[in-house]
Amino acid sequence: MSEATMTTTCEIARLGLRGDGVTPEGVVVPGALPGETVRVAPEEGTRPPRARLDAVLAPSPDRIAPFCPYFGTCGGCAIQHLAPAPYAAWKRDLVVGALARVGIEAPVGPLLDAHGTGRRRITLHVRASDGGPQAGFMAARSHALVPIDHCPITEAALHRAPEIARRVSRPLGGGGGKPLDVQVTATAGGLDVDIRGHGPASDRARQALVLIAGELDLARLSLHGEVLIVRRPPEIPAGRSRLVPPSGGFLQATQEGEATLARLVVEGVGKAKRVVDLFSGAGAFSLALAEAHTVHAVEGEDGALKALDRAFRETGGLRTVTTERRDLFRRPLLAPELDRYDAVVFDPPRAGAEAQSARIAESKVPVVVGVSCDAGSFARDAALLVHGGYRLETVTPVDQFRHSPHVEIVGVFKRPGKKR
């Protein structure tokens, strides 16, 4: 088949929600930018229709050289090839567009850069190969492994994470019988490693892992969340507190991101005396709020609440922090329970907090601060609050997932006429 029948030339009209170029006809072209003329090879049977970028015939003036040697092969970063100013505008527009689709007009601030020193956590996939275990990321839209030497968007302490993943996989079969996921987190006490995917391990394998933890100078090593050894507490700074999250527990992507979100949350609740922190996790927001507010933290994971309680008790000078274990998806706080508080903070997983938002909308709480890592679910939950009488006063997009289509959002809602 000749090149003329295999490829076609087209113009790129816009960036899609995932950072891919999109033609006027709606064909998705990964790696292309708006305004470019490109040669592409259509992919058969894809929905929406997709095409592989074959060549950029007329590049955009906003195109820059990607800094990572794995970009375009690894499925991690989506958009390293766009200059900073249009990149920031695109990310902000993801939030503006999501709100517009549910009929909300609200003041959306400029994108705040919260990448800081880089991602503090990385999850590597380990697979067996003829030359031994390989560690890396999955290719885009594929289960094929892309082995890496290091990930340049992470903190420097995580640059040896692939080597660590390969080493800890060996006593467990090197990713052969069962592919492994190895999560490595940079903490103040050193690297915290949690291995997933293997299932129960023999005593011999567990003993070998403990020895490897010493050889690699790991702070903590866990298998499916079960701690095998703690050589140093894997502490995470949280305001004035030092938090030790449970193995594999939720953590904001960057230290700068967590600090930025916590600051926006504290500013959002204002002078509220009593605050309820829903989906609190291990309490990064609760601990920041407790500097000046009484806080009740509600979370479904017992390990996270225990970590929060421990950090609170070990930090002097904070206001009272109480905790409650509760599945907020199945049993959201009801309006009479919420009405005890002067402000609500909620930071759910990516799927959002539809059931809890509906109950908040029925409450009389004067101030609500919503945090989300997904523009679509944030907009859906915001629409419930607005329909219930709240006004979305400020929206701040925060970029701690640099080079990805994910954006963190902090929205402040107020009920007109309600003051406490």
Q: Where are the domains of the chain?
A: 3-63, 88-115+251-414, 121-236
Residue with token string 């092969």: 73
Q: Can you tell me the distance from the alpha carbon of 166 to that of 184, in angstroms, rounded to the nearest whole number?
A: 12
Q: Return the sign of the alpha-carbon dihedral for residues 333, 338, 340, 346.
A: positive
Determine contact, residues 192/220, Cβ cutoff 8 Å. Answer: yes
Instruction: Extract the tokens encoding 342.
Output: 């002067």
Give the residue numbers marked as catalytic: 373
Question: pTM for the full model?
Answer: 0.94
CATH topology of domain 88-115+251-414: Rossmann fold (3.40.50)
CA 372 remoteness from chain centre: 9
Q: Any alpha helices (H) in 229-345, and if so which ranges?
A: 255-269, 284-289, 302-313, 335-338
Query: Homologous superfamily of 3-63 in CATH?
Result: Nucleic acid-binding proteins (2.40.50.140)
Assign 303 to helix, strand or coil. helix
Q: Can you tell me the distance from the alpha carbon of 217 to that of 194, in angstroms, rounded to the nearest whole number?
A: 14
pLDDT of amino acid 140: 84
- Give 82-134 pLDDT, tens digit per residue: 999 999 999 999 999 999 999 999 999 999 999 999 999 999 999 998 888 99
Rounded to 5°, angle at Cα 354 from 419 and 102: 85
Flag residues of the chain having pLDDT under 50: 1-4
CA neighbor of 343 nearest in space, from 393, 293, 410, 308: 293
Q: Report the length, in residues, of the chain.
A: 420
CATH topology of domain 121-236: OB fold (Dihydrolipoamide Acetyltransferase, E2P) (2.40.50)
Which residues in 63-133 belong to E strands, given as ranges?
Answer: 112-113, 121-127
Instruction: Evaluate whether 88-115+251-414 and 121-236 have a shared fold.
Output: no
pLDDT of amino acid 3: 46
